[in-house]
Amino acid sequence: MNLFSSLIKKNGPIIGTYLLIAIIFWFIFLIIIPQLYMVDLSFRPNLSPLERGGDKDFYTLEHYKHFLFGSAGSNNYFNVVDISVFFKTIFISIIVTILNLLFCYPIAFYIAKVAQPNSARFLIIALIIPFWINELLRSFALRVLLANEGVINTFLTQIGLIDTGLLFITNNVGLYSGLTYAYLLLMMFPLYNAIESLDKNQLEAAKDLGSSTFWTHIRVVIPHAKPGIVSGCTMVFMLTVGALATPVVLGGPNTLWFPELIYQWFKMSNNWSRGAAYSFLLLIISVIFVLTMMRLFKVRIGEIIK
């Protein structure tokens, strides 16, 4: 209440009311209530609209049980499919994040510290252009290259290197390279901003004191760029773990990405509460990852997203 009256006092009645309405609308109606309701739904059985609020509408753990143990009729004790998809998604996302960091670091360093201002500007523009193009279309571009009768396969067959097409899509090569390709820029810019703020004199001092290029990076550049690295890694991991567009375009016939599993429960099986339960699991993983990164590297949440 104190907050409200002070807002009105500071901004006058008209602007104060506008601020209040906008904030409440956003926080309460768009962020908090929908999330809470989704969590609530995930603990309820899947009911038709008519049955809601009736006898069958009670709290249950059935969806989380299904994630762990599968449906009653299955042979395995655990729900091997869903659990393996879940951990595979997390594992691959971590690999993709690390790869992104390794790929982007030299470029970010080059643009921030080595390149001339004009060519740095040009390189930044060249980086931005591909990422203004829709994620779906970028994945589609990879699909054109990697499809079984795609550009790479026809090329390789024509020059006689292989007889039959390589199964890039079926073997998930397409999916993994697509995921790595998709969020490169979100690693690049935090890294670039962090390295850019490093004083060039420090690099020269390190060099004068006899440090090799490798140790200069380990001891000077990387510690300085830590907030950027954490921020980039968090963004890339979150987006990869929650990616839906790239798996839709590039996923093999037998592979599932965890958000695709959610999509299937939600859209195809029409089991909304189970979809909500699986989404909640995804949310928990994301929150755990962010908190771990904050603890591990001792950064505040404000430094992760700027």
Does the footprint of another protein cover residue 248 (CB under 8 A)?
yes
Does the footprint of another protein cover residue 162 (CB under 8 A)?
no
- The footprint of another protein on residues 118-147 (CB under 8 A) is 123, 125-130, 132-138, 140-145, 147
Cα–Cα distances in Å, from 18 out to 2, 9, 25, 31, 164? 17, 13, 11, 18, 65
Does the footprint of another protein cover residue 176 (CB under 8 A)?
no
Member of 101, 222, 245, 299 binding another protein (CB under 8 A): 245
Member of 175, 179, 184, 195 binding another protein (CB under 8 A): 184
Does the footprint of another protein cover residue 91 (CB under 8 A)?
no
What tokens were used for 267?
């859209």
Cα–Cα distances in Å, from 148 out to 86, 157, 163, 164, 175? 27, 11, 12, 9, 14
Does the footprint of another protein cover residue 219 (CB under 8 A)?
no
Cα–Cα distances in Å, from 183 out to 15, 123, 196? 39, 17, 21
Does the footprint of another protein cover residue 163 (CB under 8 A)?
no
Member of 195, 220, 243, 256 binding another protein (CB under 8 A): 243
Which sign does the torsion angle of CA 69, 71, 77, 79 carry?
negative
Closest CA to 146 of 180, 129, 171, 183: 171
Smaller CB distance to another protein: residue 7 or 83? Answer: 7
Residue 66: enclosing H or E segment and its boundaries?
A: helix 62-69
CA distance 279 to 274: 8
Does the footprint of another protein cover residue 43 (CB under 8 A)?
no
Smaller CB distance to another protein: residue 72 or 104? Answer: 104
- The region of 26-34, 66-74, 94-102, 222-230 touching another protein under the rule CB under 8 A is 26-34
| Minimum separation from the CB atom of position 140 to another protein (A) | 6
| Minimum separation from the CB atom of position 259 to another protein (A) | 5
Residues in Cβ contact with 148 at an 8 Å cutoff, skipping those fewer than 6 apart = 165, 167, 168, 169, 170
| Minimum separation from the CB atom of position 233 to another protein (A) | 13
